[in-house]
Structure 1
Amino acid sequence: MPKVTAHNLMEEFKLDLICGEEGVYRPITTSDISRPGMEMAGYFNYYPATRVQLLGKTELTFFDQLTDSEKTDRMERLCTYDTPAIIISRGMEIPTQLVEAAKKVGVPVMRSNLTTTRLSSTLTNYLEGQLAPMTAVHGVLIDIYGIGVMITGSSGVGKSETALDLVRRGHRLVADDSVEIRQEHDGMLVGKSPDLIRHLLEIRGLGIINVMTLFGAGAVRLFTPIALVIHLEIWDQTKAYDRLGLDEETMRIFDTDLPRITVPVRPGRNLAVIVEVAAMNFRLKRMGINAAEEFSSRLTNVIQEGDKEEI
């Protein structure tokens, strides 16, 4: 599982560390953010201690109205060994009771100048992206006219060569050989390249090339949502391939089914053009234009009209 700590939040959002240096590497295991308003009132029955705690103007204004003993009690109960971090928004002053309680158990206390609402939303988006389920798939990921197309197939079938041809046609490479896929939310799979092989493409007989160096920054992309899978396989004469495009295959990754098209490979086939047209046709289908269904409907009408003439 991906690991995120308070130290990562400090670097990403330029947070000021007030105390709790020894706890900045505590793991953050959930993307949910807690604003402990009920806890400030003394209700800790359902206190989500494992979440990042965000104190804004509302919570601290109410906290100022408490007695000294209540303030100490609230902060000591707020700071636990499971609490990954406490963040104060709007650059507000840190209560001394919070600093003292945090130091006892090593909870990092940080401060941001952002408003509470904006800080909460940015933290949530960041944590959801970093903590999303991730897997790696052997294949190539290309952005074709804004459609994320993942090309899969056995080793040596021609995935990288097809990707190189697509880049020369003006499309953008995201990943070659290994595609890291995160499920950022339901139905949304985002693919990117591992850092080690980013922008690199391996062509058998030629070696490793740097696509960004050769073709420019416009030929690469860091990540893209995956919408379509095209599977390349060596042509099998005994297999009946779909000739109309009515058959619908899918590839399941996590709990998302991606549409998949199987393309047979044989000498003389221009795979780059086929993949490009497949992406364009997929885009038309999403706009409600399906050529295969339209042809099938025409054929059905012709048959029905022929039957009527015979009668």
Structure 2
Amino acid sequence: MAMRRDAAVEVSRLLAEDSAALQLETLSDWGGLERLLTRPRIQKPGLALSGFVKHVYADRLQVLGLTEVDYLLSIGETEARAGLEAYCKRKLAAMALTRGLEPPPPLMELAREHGIPVLRTPLMTSSFISRVTRRLEELLSPRANIHGVLVDVLGVGLLLIGRSGVGKSEAALDLVLRGHRLVADDVVEVMIRPPDTIWGAATQLHQHHMEIRGMGILNITHLFGVAAVRDNKKIEVVVELSDLHEDDYDRLGTENNNWPILGVDIPLVRIPLRAGRNISSLIEVVARNQILKFRGIDSAREFQEKIATHIAMTTGTATPSDAPEEASPRQVSGQITGLVSLGEVE
């Protein structure tokens, strides 16, 4: 998994089709859209319009709202031009006006002189700042491509991983037939969304398609409708499908295994493959069990505590209140070496 990070984004990306939610248009006709934005945070000029430009960051998008435009119109043109001259000399990446406001003439003249692109959106300032910050975070965040399949099962994002040919796509197709949703097949593009969540999506070329051995490429949207796919999903559990030996996986379900993605630990569940096992049903149960964990219910640990308490009471080694909460069956009794069923405790 090779990580890449876009250290800078051209201003033109904010005008692309995938940034349509910003509703930006270009007011300037002198180019400059190749200028770079390197930070997701925007900047409101404030005092910079009066000439105090010490803390103006040229690599941020400059957002001018009603307050800034009214200020420029309320002062004399000579004073406005003096403040804007110092402001524009900072080699700004771009300026964006909100609320569909008309730019004051001195602003457009000096922007042209310094080659600064001027954009405009009909959105309210607060809404635009929220959207453009989120969009820049997406464009500038670390990314990587992972070999796997990402599905949305009962609202839980499951990333299926395993060796090539292990049956990830077939399991995902069976989940789609059960009413769940495909996000990405074969190549999953992952990224960090602040502060520490991992989201996955398909690459533009593979979006909504799936490869099934013996059948070729399938368009899931055409086969099952738009409700069978989604564009992206937060990854909440990694499910590894593998040929594990008997002692290679957690039979109790109490081990906290994680799989790091871009430095963020994601819960890992290993499902051993055996002939006749219904893998898609097991994957669905993983999602249901994760929903319970979101609600503070951990069935495996509750069962473990019940066994530990029962053993302590029957052997007289401790009272129920003294039984260790996190003790495993191996820790409670040296005679217990594996999965303890209720029928084995007398």
Q: Same fold (TM over 0.5)?
A: yes
In the alignment, the residues of structure 1 paired with residue 93 and residue 114 of structure 2 have an alpha-carbon distance, to the nearest angstrom, of 11
| Cα contact 1:199–1:220 (8 A) shared by 2 | yes
Q: Which residue of 1 aligns with 2:231?
A: 222
Q: Does 1:278 align with 2:286?
A: yes
Report the counterpart of residue 170 of structure 2 in structure 1.
Answer: 161
Partner residue in 2 for 1:112: 121
- The answer on whether the counterparts of 2:51 and 2:86 sit within 8 Å (CA) in structure 1 is no
In structure 2, the partner of 1:240 is 248
Q: Deviations over 1:19-71 (max 9, x none)?
A: 25310222222211111002123221111111111111212222334444432
Corresponding residue for residue 70 of structure 2: 61
2:36–2:93 contact (8 Å) kept in structure 1: yes
Change (3 A) 1:21 1:160: same
Name the counterpart of 1:267: 275
Equivalent of 1:203, from 196, 204, 212? 212
SS at match of 1:176: strand
Aligned residue for 1:63, secondary structure, equals: helix
TM superposition shift of 1:182: 1.5
Partner residue of 2:183? 174
- For the residue of structure 1 that corresponds to 2:172, the secondary structure is helix
Equivalent residues of 2:11, 2:33 under 8 A apart = yes
- The 2-side partners of 1:215 and 1:19 are apart by 45
The answer as to whether partners of 2:23 and 2:122 remain within 8 angstroms in 1 is no
Matching residue of 1:190: 199
How far has the Cα of 1:81 moved from its partner? 6.7
Q: Distance in 2 between matches of 1:308 and 1:116?
A: 69
CA deviation string 1:179-234 (max 9, x = no partner): 11121211221111111111111112222222222222221111111100011111
CA distance in 2, matches of 1:57, 1:36: 12
What is the SS of the residue equivalent to 1:114? coil
Distance in 2 (alpha carbons) for counterparts of 1:91 and 1:205 = 54
State the secondary structure of the residue aligned to 1:245. Answer: coil
Decide which of 5, 9, 16 is 2:14's aligned counterpart.
Answer: 9
Corresponding residue of 2:321? none
Structure 1 residues 81 and 138, CA, compared in 2 at 3 Å: closer, same or farther? farther
SS of the residue corresponding to residue 54 of structure 2 reads coil
Aligned identity (percent) is: 37
What are the within-5 Å matches in structure 2 for residues 56-95 of structure 1? 56-80=65-89, 82-95=91-104
Query: Take 1:73 and 1:170, find their aligned partners in 2: how far apart are those partners?
Result: 63
Is 1:49–2:58 an aligned residue pair? yes
**Contact 2:23–2:123 (CA<8 Å) still a contact in 1?**
no
Equivalent pair of 1:139/1:179 in contact (CA under 8 Å): yes
Helix, strand or coil at the partner of 1:19: coil
Structure 1: tracts of 5 or more residues without a match:
none
Q: Tell me the TM-score normalized by structure 1.
A: 0.92
* Equivalent residues, number: 310
Q: 2:73 and 2:220 mapped to 1: Cα distance?
A: 58
CA RMSD of aligned residues (A): 2.1
Q: Could you tell me which amino acid in structure 1 is paired with residue 182 of structure 2? A: L
Q: Does structure 2 retain, via aligned residues, the 8 Å contact 1:20–1:107?
A: no
Which range moves more in the overlay, 215-224 or 6-15?
6-15
Code of the residue aligned with 1:56 in structure 2: it is G
Q: Corresponding residue for 2:261?
A: 253
TM-score under structure 2 length normalisation = 0.83
Q: Deviations over 1:51-94 (max 9, x none)?
A: 11111121222233444443222222222474221112223332
Q: 1:133 to 1:240 in 2, by over 3 A?
A: closer
**CA–CA distance in structure 1, aligned partners of residues 170 and 211 of structure 2:** 8
Give the ranges of 4+ consecutive aligned residues of structure 1 lying more than 4 Å apart after TM superposition: none
Q: Does the aligned pair in 1 maintain the 2:176–2:228 contact within 8 Å?
A: yes
Query: Paired residue for 2:344?
Result: none
* Aligned amino acid, residue 38 of structure 2: T
Give the Cα separation in 1 of the matches to 2:241 and 2:164: 10
Structure 2 CA distance for partners of 1:119 and 1:158, relative to 1, 3 Å: same
1:93-104 correspondence runs (5 A) = 93-104=102-113
